[in-house]
Amino acid sequence: REEDCTLADVTMPQLGETVTEGTITRWLKQVGDPIGQDEVLFEVSTDKVDSEVPSPSAGYLAEILVPEGDTVDVGARLAVITPEPPGGTASGDGAGTATAQPTPTAQPTPTAQSEPAPAPQPAPAPEPAPAPEPKPAPEPEPAMAAPATEPTAPSRAPTDGQGGGQVLSPVVRRLLAEHDLDPSQIRGTGAGDRITRADVLAVIDARSGAGGAPARPAPAAPTTTTPPAAPAAPTPPQTPPPSRPPVVTAPTGGRDEVIPFSNIRRRTAEHMVRSKATSAHTLVAVEVDFEAVDRVRRAERERFRAQEGISLTYLPFVARATIEALRAHPHLNASVGDDALVVHRDVHLGIAVDLDSEGLIVPVIHDADGKRLPALAREAADLASRARERKLGADDIAGGTFTITNPGPFGTMITVPIINQPQVGILSTDGVKRKPVVVTLADGSEGIAIHSVGVLALSFDHRAVDGAYASRFLAKLREVLETRDWAQEL
């Protein structure tokens, strides 16, 4: 009871919806240092952003559970803060006992009483082998993908005899289990020769490049004594998660170059595969006459650049029209929940940004439904600029409800984008070109004119809406673009 009042856990924050882990790049405080609430405690790097994380409470840094360079899951315990300096609380209860509690698995295990650290009495000998770890039950939920397929790895204590007694982070243990790797055969490059996520990924890449080295036998079940050399039931490891296709090694020749995936490239790939496995992707597209937009762009281009310092592109017009269409069709500004559609009443518009062909990131224009065209243009340009300079914060990429991707400047004809989970729709704005179109003349007859024409393509989650609803959304979007008085909007 008292321990709960005197301890404050520092955990890995959620830095965006699709971010599942982060790497501690620097601790700004050391054990024993005083720290104020909201004072920056450490720096964390993800595949999306680098952020400074403030302390959740004031006190003293009593313990650091995850060293610099380690990558751990969101929610993992990173450090412990106490109201008094560590080691100085000999008053009998609380801080000293609980701070030594966590075996540095960086898992958010709830209790602080199961492991007395400063050992008031060296009597609790059964302690070192906490037989059933609190998490032995991911087995019954093979629902979602990789993390739930190997029940034995997360429930092992870090000193399970296979890693030479060293501490393994949850991410590292998960990768080892998924790829059936023996940690004792991997050289660690982290602090104190710890095995990092990068070390494991390097081994995985090398093994697949060599056509797949033979995997070690699956570890025996919950045996904690010295494992028998031949566990007579060499049950094959569980089949890989459904979302992870078997690795096909491509033949390489003397002139081929093998370029390992960067972290952001690897994470983007994982997110895309997960999205395709999650959502029932369907495409609907319309051709849009952008002549009304182009007429205003040509007239206002120089004034807008002089006033705002940015170019007046098609994107803010499409963004403004998208907001109007989402107001009329809110089920596309939504997420699929537990057997339900969660409709978001505020529009937080994500704009996909290319990071010099290294990967994609989706910063968010928050409360976009309350902003007019010039504000949308300014904010989209600012977010794109800061994204390319790696200056986005965690809040800049969080909370999106609908996404626009904009390959149009490259002259694309039609693009089939992949949904940005957990959203249910993503709009692609493709290239706008001058083309002959049929127009209605003043006397009611038809004629041929040269207009600016482009395609808008919507990928939507068929679990959330049907094709008729998605088509009505695009029809509304086209109507706004073709008929709105954009001069008045500017």
- Show which residues are catalytic: 462, 466
3-state secondary structure at position 349: strand
Q: Would you list the DSSP string of 400-434?
A: -SEEEE--GGGT-S---PPP-TTBSEEEEEEEEEE
227 contacts 161 by C-beta, under 8 angstroms: yes
The b-or-e profile of 285-316 (16+ CB within 10 A means b, else e) is bbebbbbbbbebbeeeeeebeeeeebebbbbb
Q: How many CB atoms lie within 10 A of CB 26?
A: 12
Task: Quickly count: other Cβ atoms within 10 Å of residue 143's Cβ.
Answer: 7
**230 in helix, strand or coil?**
coil
Count Cβ atoms below 10 Å from residue 439 Cβ, excluding itself. 14
Alpha helix positions (H), 238-288: 263-278
Q: Which two tokens stand for residue 78?
A: 């990173």
Q: Are 365 and 349 in contact (CB under 8 A)?
A: yes
Token pair, residue 279, equals 């959502």
Query: What is the strand order of the sheet 21-27 is part of?
Result: 50-54, 40-45, 21-27, 71-73
Structure tokens at 177: 């289990």
Locate tokens 């673009």: which residue?
A: 481
Tokens (6 digits) for 124:
């609790």
Q: How far apart are the first and last CA of the chain?
A: 61
Cα four-point dihedral sign 325, 330, 331, 337: positive
Q: Is 202 helix (H, G, I), strand (E, B) or coil?
A: helix
